[in-house]
Amino acid sequence: MSFNKNLSCQTYLHKDFFRMIHTITATEFIHQSHDTLIIDVRSPQEFIQGHIPGAKNIALFSDDERAIIGTLYKQQGKDRAILQGLQLVGPKLADFIIAVQGLTDKKTVFIYCWRGGMRSSSFAWLLHTYGYEVFLLQGGYKAFRNFALQAPSKKLDLIVVSGKTGTGKTILLYDFHREGKQVIDLEGLACHKGSVFGGLGQTQPTQEQFENNVALLLDQLKSDEPTWIEDESRKIGKIIIPAGLWDQMRQAPIFFIEKTKQKRMDLLMQEYGLFTTEDLLHALQGIEKHIGSQRYLQAQTLLQNNDRISFCSMLIDYYDQAYNHSLIRRQKQLKSNSHSDKISL
């Protein structure tokens, strides 16, 4: 009888111990984690490759440690790998708590690893022991990626903002956003302004991270309200627009912006005037085969002579030609689209 009482007490304590650790789906995880610390416990390289937007990386194992454990698992089995993992993690436990405290003063955290397995569960146990309420992502980052890959198929009421280089399409999107309109800034998400010079001063995310960023934004948009998006090529720098969203962009009504060449040149001078001649010359190499050797040498000379006004004029002429060719390819769509509008600024 005494043994049974002790067993009941142990069972009660076990349930109470895990009472504040909740396992939730990817959708629940995304919707409930706003303004709360999200911890990605995967290795640094896994995190760089792609993570849930807003998450902070507190790696349970370094990249080298993860490789060691993975090798042990394959060669000597699960038990040996777990033992090695405990030996590596043990000295870091206090540091993990300190790291979390440095990131939030709240007592609620959201945690995930790759598959929602031992790494996130172990970290959840540690934080719960220290008094945190923990939410675990069921299926881990892999489940979030499934969500992210499906997100671009969400049906939206898109309106495409189009116009030649230097017409201020991105600026118009910013204005719309300030007015409370729904906006998708693909160039902002891709950290690239679209042209061969668009990557100056910016570092693009991985393709995977771009898809994650897009997915989280799309999840927040209302399907029954207009969403403004800038006209883009399929590729923005090295980033490829997901197929589901790209297909909707090709079918959406178009809102054209028109500006004088002088106004467009002024805008380009503002955007790229602060970059060094060396930076611009390096970027110019990206269109050498498209503009031909003669114009390429002419553009080089203009930059080397610091004649940036003439350089911008030449650049606009080149991109206008490319834009007109693109416009011809889409002529059938434009003719059948009764909702296309123009605005001159």
Among the ranges given (117-126, 236-245, 316-325), the one the predictor scored with the smallest mean pLDDT:
316-325
The mean pLDDT value for 78-83 works out to: 83
Q: How far apart are CA 69 and CA 113, in angstroms?
A: 15
Q: How far apart are CA 13 and CA 5, in angstroms?
A: 12
Q: Is the pLDDT of residue 101 over 80?
A: yes
Sign of CA dihedral 211, 246, 32, 29: negative
Q: In the chain, what are the domain boundaries? A: 2-148, 159-344
Instruction: Answer yes or no: is pLDDT of 183 > 90.
Output: yes
Tallying the residues shown for the chain, one arrives at: 345
Token pair for 123: 């970290």
pTM score of the predicted model: 0.86
At residue 181 the predicted structure's pLDDT band, cuts being 50, 70 and 90, is: very high
Taking the CB of residue 231, how many other CB atoms lie within 10 A of it? 20
Report residue 131 as tokens.
Answer: 């008094």
Please, which pLDDT band fits residue 336 given cuts at 50, 70 and 90? very low
Please give the CATH topology (third level) of the domain spanning 2-148: Oxidized Rhodanese; domain 1 (3.40.250)
Which tens digit of pLDDT belongs to each residue from 209-235?
999 999 999 999 999 999 999 999 899
May I ask the CATH architecture of the domain 159-344? 3-Layer(aba) Sandwich (3.40)
Q: Is position 9 annotated as part of the catalytic site?
A: no
pLDDT of 330 > 80? The answer is: no
Bigger pLDDT: 64 vs 342: 64
If DSSP states are collapsed to H, E and C, what string results for the chain? Answer: CHHHHHHHHHHHHHHHHCCCEEEECHHHHHHHCCCCEEEECCCHHHHHHCCCCCCEECCCCCHHHHHHHHHHHHHHCHHHHHHHHHHHHHHHHHHHHHHHHHHCCCCEEEEECCCCCHHHHHHHHHHHHCCCEEEEECCHHHHHHHHHHHHHHCCCEEEEEECCCCCCHHHHHHHHHHCCCEEECHHHHHCCCCCCCCCCCCCCCCHHHHHHHHHHHHHHCCCCCEEEEECCCCEECCEECCHHHHHHHHHCCEEEEECCHHHHHHHHHHHHCCCCHHHHHHHHHHHHHHHCHHHHHHHHHHHHCCCHHHHHHHHHHHHHHHHHHHHHHCHHHHHHCCCCEEEEC
**What mean pLDDT do residues 261-283 have?**
87
Amino acid 153: pLDDT: 95
The answer on pLDDT for 238 being more than 80 is yes
As given in the structure block, the two tokens for residue 220 are 């927040």
The answer to whether the CB of 233 falls within 8 A of the CB of 329 is: no
pLDDT at 20: 83
Gap between the Cα atoms of 295 and 329, Å rounded: 25
Assigned token pair, 268: 């380009």
| Average pLDDT of the segment spanning 296-320 | 88
Mean pLDDT of 18-42: 92
**Cβ contacts of 303-308, under 8 Å, gap ≥ 24:** 303/277, 304/277, 306/277, 308/269, 308/273
Is 90 exceeded by the pLDDT of residue 111?
yes
pLDDT of amino acid 79: 83
Instruction: Specify the pLDDT at position 332.
Output: 54
* pLDDT exceeds cutoff 60 at 5: no
Digit-coded pLDDT (tens) for 124-178: 999 999 999 999 999 999 999 999 999 999 999 999 999 998 999 999 999 999 9
The mean pLDDT value for 259-269 works out to: 90
Strands laid side by side in the 21-24 sheet: 21-24, 133-137, 108-112, 37-40, 56-57
pLDDT of residue 197: 81
**Higher-confidence residue: 39 or 20?**
39
* pLDDT beyond 70 at 21: yes
Catalytic residue among 9, 113, 191, 312: 113
- Determine which of 77-91, 198-212, 293-307 has the lowest per-residue pLDDT on average: 77-91
User: What pLDDT band is residue 284 in, cutting at 50, 70 and 90?
Assistant: confident
**pLDDT value at 8 more than 60:** no
